Amino acid sequence: MKLINIGFGNIVSANRIVAIVSPESAPIKRIISEARERGQLVDATYGRRTRAVMITDSGHVVLSAIQPETVAHRFVTQKDGSPKDVSSKDSD
C-alpha cells in the first residue's frame, strides 16, 4: 500500500485517491459541502487555506493546504525517489 504525505504529517492511501483538484470551482465547492453534510469530509489543512481537494473511491473528500501539483508529484514519485514524468500539459 502506497501512502502520500498531504502536509503537516497527514498521510492518505494513494490507492484510494480518484482525483486531486483545486477547490476554486463551484462544482468542487458543492462536493465539499455535500461531503461535510454526509460526515465524509476530512479537513487536513490545520486552519490554513484549502489548496487541494482529494476525492477518494469511498466518497470521502480530503482537504489539504498544499498545492494540487505538489500532491500529484508525490503521488507519482516512485519508491526509489525518482519522479516520473509529471507534465501540466495535456498529452492530447
Q: What pTM value is reported for the model?
A: 0.82
Beta-sheet pairing, 41-44 with 52-56:
unpaired
- Per-residue pLDDT at 82: 52
Q: Report d(CA 32, CA 21) in Å as an integer.
A: 11
> Rounded distance, CA 1 to CA 6, Å?
16
Average pLDDT value for residue range 15-24: 96
Give the separation between CA 5 and CA 13, rounded to whole angstroms: 9
Looking at per-residue pLDDT, the higher value among 65 and 85 belongs to 65
- Which cell goes with 63? 482537504
d(CA 77, CA 60) in angstroms, rounded, equals 23
Contact 26, 33 (CB under 8 A): no
pLDDT of residue 11: 95
Q: Is residue 31 predicted with pLDDT exceeding 50?
A: yes
